[in-house]
Amino acid sequence: MSHQTPPDSSCLDLWREKNDQLVRQVKVAQDSGLSLRRQQLAQDALEGLRELLCSLQGLPAAVAVLPLELTVTCNFIILKTSVAQGFTEDQTQDIQRGLERVLETQEQLGPRLERGLMELWDSVLHASSLLLDLLPALHRLAGLQAALWLSTDHLRDLALLLQTLNGSQSGSSEDLLLHLKTWSPPAEESDAPLTLQDARGLRDVLLTAFTYRQGQLGSSGLIPSLSLHEAASGLCPRPVLVQVYTALGTCLRKMGNPQRALVYLVEALKGGSALGPPLLEASRLYQQLGDTAAELESLELLVEALSVTHSSEAPQLLIEVELLLPRLDPALPLHCGTQSQAKHLLASRCLQTGRAEDAAEHYLDLLALLLDGSEPRFAPPPSPPGPCMPEVFLEAAAALIQAGRAQDALTVCEELLSRTSFLLPKMSQLWKGARKGTKGLPHCPLWVSATHLLQGQAWVQLGAQKEAVSEFSWCLELLFRSTPEDKEQGAASNCEQGCKSEVALQQLQAAALISRGLEWVACGQDTKALQDFLLSVQMCPGNRDASIHLLQTLRRLDRRDEATALWWRLEAQTKLPQKDTTWSLPLYLETCLSWIRPSDHETLLEEFRTSVLEPRGL
């Protein structure tokens, strides 16, 4: 078998010519910006490669034809994978078929037993030491196998394969990166049939992808990540380099090495393409460094960058880094989200860092983008980590109040309520239910109550006490009907991601009670205020602000004994180890709580200390 004469050499030339022509067609497709034309060309080329492969594999395997056959196999797999945007079981079979064809020429195939892929590779690489012509094609196929295994997390097989490829017997199979680095595929002959992606290219992609994975694993990835730089610098195409630098930046930032991370991010930005990911990463870095101005500036640049480059970048018709990474991980530095996501990030950071005017402007821009943009590509943050649409409205309202634009905040709240009014329980029903008593109270989403709270705050700012109190009361009315989230259903249920916790509900109740209490105080109705503050302390015992407001009111009403008892409780609380209060409240709620924080509570407590302790001293 092995000494079979090749089928008519002109036939071989013909096949080769066909392969080259198809590869050229794919390159043309790659370059044509029109995505549909591209898709058609790629599909046609894929079909052509499939046919070519069929005719090649229809004949008995012959050594003279094998290099071409393996090249066609590789091209076919590469194109198929990139068109389908992922590896499937088919590709495994394609690779296996290729390996079996090699063994056929060596008469080593033996009985068709259940042979593992790794065993096949072993025997093929063993046999190929005799077939030097085959080596470049085999390394390319091995690169594809490695990519497949990396994407499916078969790291042990991958390490073994690389070890065999490198011919190294010793060394732990675990050190995958080292194996990847030492793997040097043989240079391709200049007159070889055309390929879509050569073995070195595949190796570079593998290196990058693998280092990403390492980098995601945490600080243990330091050394490998740094060595990646050397490994990739010379050969990486520019976009990959940008990705690598961004990944390195992420890695270094997570390891607490912000200065070096910055260097890499600057390098990445010099790359000129795909500015989104490095900019987002830079903003995270500046946030960690506490450089708010720089952070916001990078976010602004990010928004700008995303607004410009909305031409849909088509994926390359090659095996790319993204194909080898676990899918849908928004935390990956490769993804920077959409423009609206960036805008929201910018706005919320402004609000968090106390730049209320900027925040308000950005939120208004964002709302305009979301509501008026007829182009659907400006999407709200859809994934669970981001807040849902009602929360964006609430944050906008909070920012507007913070910026002193209460009237605008009211408009935003009204817009929110009017747009969702038909989702809410019918108010007449609500009252009927209240009159009848227990007969099934309607519940309503938390954000509806929160809207009323913010409306009340806006009225406070406008000095309209009556309206404010009525809004707070509304809010409380709705809140006391709020049932735990798991009982909720229908329209509102998917919108509670940010404030699902019982804690949020409690804090919202406390905030509403304190807000109303403060209004009573302002009207001079201290008894009513006292009631609200008392309730708020009961509802939310951990809320220190509520206790202090209560303390103040008690003192004002000259109820010394109760005040002293409360003060003792507060003292005891401060002495206790502080409970972990790292729950994350929705941003609008945080903002709202900051408005009702008692300003001079330290002096108040000090006064109490002296007044309480004095009589003892006597």
Partner 1 sequence: MVPCTAPLWVVAAYRFPGQVWHLELLAPRRALYVLCAQKGVYCLSLDHLSRSTSQDDGDSEDSELPSFVIPVGPDACILPDASLCAFTVLEDTLVTLVQGPTQWKMQLFERPCPGEDPQPGGQIGEVELSTYAPPAGVPGKPADPRFLPVLCCVSPPASRVPHGQLWGPGSFTLKEALFGLLFGADATLLESPVILCGLPDGQLCSVALKVLVTSRSAPGDPKALVKILHHLEEPVIFIGALRTEPQAEEAAEETLPGEDVHSDCLVALGPYGRTLAIKASWDEAGNLVPELREYCLPGPVLCAACGGGGRVYHSTPSDLCMVDLARGGAPLDPTQPDEGPGGLPPLLCPASLSICSVVTLAVLSRAPEGGTELLALSAKGRLMICSLDLNSEAPGLSPVSRANTGQKIKELLSGIGNVSERVSFLKKAVDQRNKALTSLNEAMNVSCALLSSREGPKPISCTTTVGWSRLQLQDVLMATCLLENRSAFCLGQGWTLCIQVLTSSSALDLDSAGSATTYTIPVGQLSPGSQREVTLPLGPGENGTFDLPVTVSCTLFYSLREVVGRALAPSDSFEDPCVDEDPPDVLPEQEGICLPLSRHTVDLLQSLRFPGLAPPCTQAPPLRGPADPVDAFLEACREPGSQPGSQPAGPASLRAAYLPPSVACIKVSAELLRAALDDSHSGVPLCCATLQWLLAENAAVDVVRARALSSVQGVAPDGADVHLIVREVAVTDLCPAGAIQVVEIQVESSSLADVCRAHHAIIGRMQTMVRQQAAQGSSPPDLRVQYLRQIHANHETLLREVQMLRDRLCVEDEASSCTTAQRLLQVYKQLRSPSLILL
Choose the stretch contacting partner 1; rule: CB under 8 A; options: 128-136, 159-167, 273-281, 598-606. 273-281
Q: Is 152 in the site for partner 1 (CB under 8 A)?
A: no
Choose the stretch contacting partner 1; rule: CB under 8 A; options: 15-23, 95-103, 115-123, 329-337. 329-337
Dist CA 410 CA 496 (whole Å): 22
Q: Compute the least distance from the CB of residue 133 to partner 1, in Å.
A: 30
Q: Is 396 in the site for partner 1 (CB under 8 A)?
A: no
Q: Is 523 in the site for partner 1 (CB under 8 A)?
A: no
Query: Residue 19: CB partners within 8 Å, gap ≥ 6?
Result: 49, 52, 68, 71, 72, 75, 193, 194
Size of the site for partner 1 (CB under 8 A): 72
Q: Is 371 in the site for partner 1 (CB under 8 A)?
A: yes
Q: Is 586 in the site for partner 1 (CB under 8 A)?
A: no
69 vs 320, beta carbon nearer partner 1: 320
Instruction: Give the contact letters, 62-101, x = binds to partner 1 (CB under 8 A), - = no.
Output: ----------------------x---xxx-----------
Q: Compute the least distance from the CB of residue 166 to partner 1, in Å.
A: 33
Give me the half-sphere count of Cα atoms (radius 13 Å) on the Cβ side of residue 466.
0
DSSP string over 3-65: TPPPS-HHHHHHHHHHHHHHHHHHHHHHH---HHHHHHHHHHHHHHHHHHHHHHHTSPP-TTT
**Residue numbers 176-205 binding partner 1 by CB under 8 A:** none
Give the residue, chosen from 172, 219, 273, 429, that forms a contact with partner 1 under the rule CB under 8 A.
429
Give the residue, chosen from 274, 479, 529, 585, that forms a contact with partner 1 under the rule CB under 8 A.
274
431 vs 568, beta carbon nearer partner 1: 431
Nearest to 276 by CA among 315, 307, 252: 307
Query: Residue 188: CB partners within 8 Å, gap ≥ 6?
Result: 136, 195, 198, 199
Q: Is 384 in the site for partner 1 (CB under 8 A)?
A: yes
The CA-based angle 408-412-418, given to 5 degrees, is: 140
Q: Is 237 in the site for partner 1 (CB under 8 A)?
A: no
Question: What is the distance in angstroms between the CA of the first residue and the CA of the last residue of the chain?
Answer: 113
Dist CA 183 CA 164 (whole Å): 10
Q: Is 389 in the site for partner 1 (CB under 8 A)?
A: yes
- In degrees rounded to 5, what are phi and psi of residue 214? -60, -45
Dist CA 249 CA 253 (whole Å): 6
Nearest to 293 by CA among 366, 340, 338, 358: 358
313 vs 600, beta carbon nearer partner 1: 313
Q: Is 441 in the site for partner 1 (CB under 8 A)?
A: yes
DSSP string over 347-359: HHHHHHTT-HHHH
Contact 143, 185 (CB under 8 A): yes
380 vs 541, beta carbon nearer partner 1: 380
Q: Compute the least distance from the CB of residue 375 to partner 1, in Å.
A: 9
Give the residue, chosen from 336, 359, 396, 505, that forms a contact with partner 1 under the rule CB under 8 A.
336
Contact 66, 101 (CB under 8 A): yes
Q: Is 313 in the site for partner 1 (CB under 8 A)?
A: yes
**Residue numbers 39-68 binding partner 1 by CB under 8 A:** 39-40, 43, 50
